[in-house]
Every structure is written in C-alpha cells, then in structure tokens.
C-alpha cells in the first residue's frame, strides 16, 4: 500500500464520522440559546428604511438644484413617463411627457433622489422636495 491509498482511507474514515443530522441539531440548539438572549425578528421591524445611513447628516453641498441636475432629472422622468410610469401630479389635458415632468418638478413631486458625491468618497442624498429651484 502506498501513501496515496493511506490518504484515501483516512479521508473515507473522516467522511464516515461526519453525520449531518447531529451537527444540524447541535447548531439549532446553539442558535436557540442565542435567540433567547437577543432575538430581533421581522415582527420587531415596523418600517423598513430605504435611505442610506448618511442621509440624515448635515448636508455640506448647495441646497440649489443645478442646471445639470435639472436637465438630467427632467430627461429621466420624461423617459419614465413616456414608458408608462404614472404621473404624480394632475396633468389635465397634457400629453407631452416632458411637460408632465416639468409640472412634477415645479411642484417638487418627482420621485427621484439626487446623490451628490463628495471628495472624501462619501455622498449626500437630496430629495427634490429639499432643493430650491432656480428658474
């Protein structure tokens, strides 16, 4: 018998000693003990937060919507509307998607968040309702 056969025999013996059911039961017992100490279940979460952690910090960038952000937002929102997204404002007889996006921007109802990146690799998220519009 050579070294290769001895290695295979040891490996097979180790496999035979491994029983999934016992290990799972032990793990379940450990988890149950931990759950008794500090359990936070889904029922404890009342309202999920979709905002990043740093969105509530004091903002350092300008509170004004730039002409580049305005253009990008209007274009993106007009595209969404033209592809069937429902408008968030009363549109009356308007059928032009750009005009509807412009109405939404004027009423600050566009459901888009602007992410402004900072030099230190962090960012600020601004809702349209937080920004001041310049005509």
What's the pLDDT score for residue 16? 53
Q: Which residue ranges make up each domain of the chain? A: 3-44, 53-130
Give the range among 14-18, 63-67, 77-81, 97-101 with minimum mean pLDDT: 14-18
Backbone CA torsion sign across 95, 99, 103, 104: positive
> What are 34-90's pLDDT values in tens digits?
555 444 443 444 443 444 555 557 889 999 999 999 999 999 999 999 999 999 999
How is residue 113 written in tokens? 């968040």
Q: How much is the average pLDDT of 114-123? A: 92
**Contact predicate 116/42, CB 8 Å:** no
How is residue 46 written in tokens? 């009342």
Dist CA 114 CA 124 (whole Å): 8
Give the range among 3-7, 16-20, 111-115, 118-122 with minimum mean pLDDT: 16-20
User: Which of 78, 84, 130, 132 is closest to 103 using CA atoms?
Assistant: 78
Classified by CATH at the fold level, domain 53-130 comes out as Eukaryotic RPB6 RNA polymerase subunit (3.90.940)
Give the 3-state secondary structure of residue 112: coil
**Contact predicate 128/105, CB 8 Å:** yes
Dist CA 97 CA 120 (whole Å): 37
What's the pLDDT score for residue 46? 41
């Amino acid at each position: 018998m050579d070294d290769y056969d001895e290695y295979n025999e040891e490996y097979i013996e180790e496999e035979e000693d491994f029983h999934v059911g016992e290990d799972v039961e032990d793990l379940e017992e450990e988890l149950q003990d931990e759950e008794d100490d500090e359990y936070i279940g889904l029922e404890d979460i009342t309202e999920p937060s979709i905002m990043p952690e740093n969105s509530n910090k004091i903002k350092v960038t300008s509170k004004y919507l730039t002409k580049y952000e305005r253009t990008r937002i209007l274009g993106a929102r007009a595209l969404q509307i033209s592809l069937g997204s429902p408008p968030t404002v009363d549109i009356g007889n308007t059928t032009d998607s750009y005009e509807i996006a412009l109405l939404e921007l004027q009423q600050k109802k566009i459901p888009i968040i602007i992410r402004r990146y900072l030099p230190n690799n962090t960012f600020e998220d601004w809702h349209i309702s937080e920004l001041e519009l310049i005509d």
